[in-house]
């Protein structure tokens, strides 16, 4: 009984946590949407009037110049300021200090490339990076904070390896909010962005103590579960009132490696993955809704959602780890996605889609291999080789032991019938009876929940077959 209660409590906690994260995000984005509307009004007032006396929008002007313009709601900005030149003339080893400065820039750019954040512009010794120009993912604020942490650690290592006291002062500011992004559509010309939130990021950076990372309240709310953060104070911002500021001291104690407060451990990766999963799920379900054939009456979006839900429920009950359940949920999303390409070999096509899409979310090759293995495990007849494969196989065929078995199986019959893969109802019921008699649930959870009802479905099919034979004989 205690294990069942623990299982229920874990599921309830997970559901409440996801609901809380979504509510926080929507609330914070809503607060900035009003500001974006106000900025759009100002931009329209500042544009020139055209020949008809109407003020063209800035978007229209830029589009006429062959540029792609997007209003992005949640872009995370990282401003980096490096100062010290005012004291350089007083130093003896000026060339050595410039070499250290070059090392700092190289290290910063290397980290930015690792985390796939875009360099927007450099002006003097100041740089702005952005996460979220190509995709507005829930993990962007976390990504840019991770990048800033690693940049800070890399700069500190350069200082530690130098024989001199740190000469250059590096400050960082992070802010998340809406921006106007302009893509020149030229291969070697990066995005440019505009909006008040750029100024906010710059001010946060300049207000930051040297060697530290300062962030806005907006970003703080989106990353506070992952990082050790302390309140720095506030500063006035025009039209916005007092802006709360927070210093990032590293990762939370239970989320970093023992010897490095800026290095994520496996617990961090799993919790990060839970938030990342919401973006992946949104992407894949949208892909399925737009691209699955309309005559997939069984292998549709509903079935995918059912399997995602079921792998989580059975996985918790079977005592799997959070990471294993996360990988099962990702595999469940893709397990029938291959129907977009090929009906008969959809498992193989689903694995190919996973290999194509998941790297864009920085999923490691090792995890992608596990996801692909789980997808292929759903190929009939099921023959799982470990507990994770057992969970996804039982989840995929969960309907065999549910009370709605008959109506669900009817949708599968209709789907197969239109593809000329099955004959009459009588033949279909004979196929079903044979399949169910040879089928077994592998996990104790599925056996306890579904096996009895599955046997009842077997009896229902026998009765249908007997009735059909009687009708056939009567007609003959």
Is 13 domain-assigned? Answer: no
Is 341 domain-assigned? Answer: yes
Residues 212 and 330 in one domain: no
Within 258-386, residue ranges assigned H as helices are 266-291, 301-317, 322-334, 346-357, 365-377
The total of structural domains in the chain comes to 2
Residues 407 and 471 in one domain: yes
Residues 332 and 439 in one domain: yes
Residues 324 and 254 in one domain: no
- Tokens 């992952």 appear where? 226
User: Cα angle at 345 between 312 and 359, to 5 degrees?
Assistant: 55
C-alpha to C-alpha distance for 214 and 131, rounded to whole angstroms = 17
Domain boundary among 245, 264, 283: 264
Return the pLDDT at 39.
Answer: 54
Three-state secondary-structure class, residue 129: strand
- Tokens 């549709």 appear where? 300
Return the pLDDT at 55.
Answer: 42
Domain boundary among 248, 264, 280: 264
Each residue's pLDDT expressed in tens, for the chain with a length of 476 residues: 555 566 566 666 666 666 665 666 566 556 555 555 655 555 555 444 444 444 444 444 444 444 566 777 789 999 999 998 888 888 888 888 899 999 999 999 999 998 889 888 777 778 999 998 877 788 999 999 999 999 999 999 998 887 677 889 999 999 998 888 776 555 544 567 777 888 899 999 999 999 999 999 999 999 999 999 999 999 887 767 788 999 999 899 999 888 887 788 888 988 999 999 999 999 999 999 999 999 999 999 999 999 999 999 999 999 999 999 999 999 999 999 999 999 999 999 999 999 999 998 888 899 999 999 999 999 999 999 999 999 999 999 999 888 888 899 999 999 999 999 998 888 888 888 888 888 999 999 999 988 888 888 888 888 777 776 656 555 55
C-alpha to C-alpha distance for 163 and 103, rounded to whole angstroms = 15
Domain boundary among 243, 264, 285: 264
**Side-chain-facing half-sphere of 362: CA atoms under 13 Å:** 15
Residues 368 and 234 in one domain: no
Q: What is the CATH number of the domain that holds 249?
A: 3.30.70.1230
Is 466 domain-assigned? Answer: yes
Return the pLDDT at 40.
Answer: 58
C-alpha to C-alpha distance for 358 and 375, rounded to whole angstroms = 14
Is 385 domain-assigned? Answer: yes
Residues 244 and 336 in one domain: no
Is 247 domain-assigned? Answer: yes
Residue count (the chain): 476
Is 21 domain-assigned? Answer: no
Residues 287 and 187 in one domain: no
Q: What is the CATH number of the domain that holds 288?
A: 1.10.3210.10
Domain containing 94: what range?
28-49+56-264
Residues 277 and 156 in one domain: no
Q: Of 212, 207, 211, 210, give the one whose Cα is nearest residue 245.
A: 207
Return the pLDDT at 183.
Answer: 65
Residues 89 and 233 in one domain: yes
Residues 285 and 247 in one domain: no
C-alpha to C-alpha distance for 304 and 285, rounded to whole angstroms = 8
440 beta partners: none
Stated as kind and residue range, the H or E segment containing 123 is: strand 118-123
Residues 196 and 256 in one domain: yes
Return the pLDDT at 387.
Answer: 97
Is 5 domain-assigned? Answer: no
Phi-psi region of 237 (alpha: psi -120 to 50; beta: other; left: phi over 0): beta
Is 103 domain-assigned? Answer: yes
Residues 129 and 230 in one domain: yes
Give 299's DSSP letter.
Answer: S
Return the pLDDT at 440.
Answer: 92
Quickly list DSSP for 156-222.
HHHHHHSSSPP-SEEEEEEEEEEEEEEE---TTS--EEESHHHHHHHHHHHTSPTT-EEEEHHHHHH
Contacting residues for 426 by C-beta, under 8 A, at least 6 apart: 465, 468, 469, 472
């Amino acid at each position: 009984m205690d294990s069942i209660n623990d299982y229920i409590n874990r599921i309830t906690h997970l559901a409440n946590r996801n609901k809380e994260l979504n509510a926080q995000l929507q609330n914070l984005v809503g607060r900035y949407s009003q500001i974006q509307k106000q900025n759009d009004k100002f931009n329209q007032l500042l544009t020139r009037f055209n020949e008809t006396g109407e003020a063209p929008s800035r978007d229209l002007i830029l589009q006429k110049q062959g540029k792609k313009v997007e209003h992005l709601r949640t872009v995370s900005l990282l401003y980096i300021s490096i100062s010290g030149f005012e004291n350089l003339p007083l130093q003896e080893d000026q060339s050595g200090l410039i070499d250290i400065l070059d090392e700092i820039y190289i290290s910063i750019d290397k980290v930015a490339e690792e985390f796939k954040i875009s360099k927007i512009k450099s002006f003097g010794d100041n740089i702005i990076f952005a996460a979220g120009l190509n995709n507005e993912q829930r993990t962007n604020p976390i990504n840019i904070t991770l990048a800033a942490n690693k940049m800070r650690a890399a700069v500190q290592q350069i200082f530690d390896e130098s024989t001199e006291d740190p000469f250059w002062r590096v400050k960082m500011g992070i802010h998340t909010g809406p921006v106007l992004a302009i893509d020149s559509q030229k291969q070697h010309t990066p995005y440019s962005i505009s909006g008040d939130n750029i100024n906010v990021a710059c001010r946060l950076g300049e207000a930051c103590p040297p060697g530290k990372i300062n962030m806005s309240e907006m970003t703080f709310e989106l990353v506070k579960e992952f990082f050790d953060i302390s309140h720095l104070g506030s500063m006035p911002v025009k039209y916005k009132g007092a802006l709360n500021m927070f210093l990032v001291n590293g990762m939370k104690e239970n989320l970093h490696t023992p010897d490095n407060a800026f290095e994520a451990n496996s617990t961090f990766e799993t919790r990060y993955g839970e938030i990342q999963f919401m973006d992946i799920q949104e992407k894949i379900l949208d892909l399925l809704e737009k691209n699955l054939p309309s005559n997939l009456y069984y292998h549709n979006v509903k079935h995918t959602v059912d399997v995602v839900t079921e792998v989580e429920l059975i996985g918790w009950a079977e005592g799997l780890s959070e990471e294993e359940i996360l990988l099962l949920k990702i595999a469940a999303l893709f397990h029938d996605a291959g129907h977009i390409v090929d009906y008969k070999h959809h498992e193989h096509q689903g694995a190919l889609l996973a290999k194509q899409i998941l790297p864009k979310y920085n999923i490691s090759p090792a995890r992608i291999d596990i996801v692909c293995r789980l997808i292929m495990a759903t190929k009939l007849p099921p023959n799982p080789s470990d507990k994770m494969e057992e969970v996804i196989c039982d989840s995929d065929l969960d309907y065999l032991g549910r009370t709605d078995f008959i109506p669900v199986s009817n949708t599968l019959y209709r789907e197969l019938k239109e593809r000329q893969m099955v004959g009459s109802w009588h033949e279909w019921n004979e196929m079903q009876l044979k399949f169910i008699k040879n089928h077994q649930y592998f996990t104790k959870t599925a056996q306890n929940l579904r096996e009895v009802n599955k046997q009842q479905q077997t009896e229902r099919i026998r009765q249908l077959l007997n009735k059909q034979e009687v009708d056939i004989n009567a007609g003959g």
